[in-house]
Amino acid sequence: MPEGKIVKALSGFYYVISNGELTQCRGRGIFRKNKITPLVGDEVVFQAENEREGYILEVKDRKNELVRPPIANVDQAILVFSAVEPDFSTTLLDRFLVLVEFNRISPLICITKIDLTDEKQMKAVVEYADQYKEIGYDVLLTSSETETGIEALSPHIENKISVFAGQSGVGKSSLLNVLRPDLDIKTDHISSHLGRGKHTTRHVELITVGNGLIADTPGFSSLEFTDIEAEDLPFCFPEIAKEGENCKFRACLHISEPKCAVKAAVESKVIPDYRYKHYVDFLQEIKERKPRY
């Protein structure tokens, strides 16, 4: 039986690429029975009824999967955040980073629209970029309009499955249009009333860029930590995980425990205040989460 990769899912059909050929497939009824939903990025075994249509028979084991956006086997998450319009949000970025770290996906922070910043805004963005670099993250400053930073972005995409994720209206589709001008993906301006862009991307699809694949995904503005437990959260903040090794108690959650190395690192400015605040807020959110049955 042929094997391939799902590169698009739309209206109950899965589009599988194998040896350069695209086959439109449906999932077997057994998937519904076993509560398996094939995802874009899945490696699958399929049966071709003819040259263009077939059925997915088996979904191979995944190395990871995301729920929003629904995609599997991701190597890298390119977290696209605008410097302005909408304004850069460390809170939202940290939510994305926690989800990505929890799923063991390598993040790349891409701050767009730097051409729209004034001197003060640019200074603030550079300071944030430096702080995230200090933590160990790769950060790129880009502009789709002037194509600043695009050359630096391209090598990160080679031979990887990357997911573009971020708030609506930050310029994900515009970046993809620069990387592959022939795509001509529809983009909308920011709504001045809502301060966010319209949802111009309707489905998840893997797009070939150079020797890599990029998923353009629907934008969204909030994330829930559905599967993350309180004891997992410290390890989703690399700098907190690192400093936490020096805490007196092994299971320290870095809130009210004595001799906490993380709180000491916050006081001495080794860990930025806003990162610790987000950690505390997220921890509270996880603790207050309603149990699932």
Residue where a domain terminates, one of 185, 216, 247: 216
| Within a domain: 46 | yes
Residue where a domain terminates, one of 157, 185, 216: 216
- Which pLDDT value is given to residue 218? 59
Take residue 248 and report the two structure tokens written for it. Answer: 């007196």
| Within a domain: 37 | yes
| Within a domain: 292 | no
Q: Across the 293 residues of the chain, what is the mean pLDDT of every consecutive 10-residue run?
A: 93 91 88 85 91 89 83 92 94 93 93 96 97 98 94 94 83 86 64 39 80 73 79 98 96 95 97 98 94 66
84 and 186 in a single domain? The answer is: yes
8 and 94 in a single domain? The answer is: no
Residue 127: give its domain's CATH number.
3.40.50.300
17 and 142 in a single domain? The answer is: no
| Within a domain: 226 | no
43 and 70 in a single domain? The answer is: no
What pTM value is reported for the model? 0.85
49: left (phi over 0), alpha (psi -120 to 50) or beta: alpha
282 and 202 in a single domain? The answer is: no
27 and 99 in a single domain? The answer is: no
| Within a domain: 94 | yes
95 and 15 in a single domain? The answer is: no
Q: In terms of residue numbers, what domain contains 46?
A: 3-61
- Name residues whose C-beta falls within 8 Å of residue 96's C-beta, 6 or more positions apart in sequence: 77, 79, 107, 165, 166, 223
- Which pLDDT value is given to residue 273? 97
- Which pLDDT value is given to residue 202? 59
d(CA 210, CA 190): 29
163 and 178 in a single domain? The answer is: yes
Residue 34: give its domain's CATH number.
2.40.50.140
| Within a domain: 129 | yes
Residue where a domain terminates, one of 61, 87, 104: 61
- Which pLDDT value is given to residue 85? 92
Domain count, the chain: 3
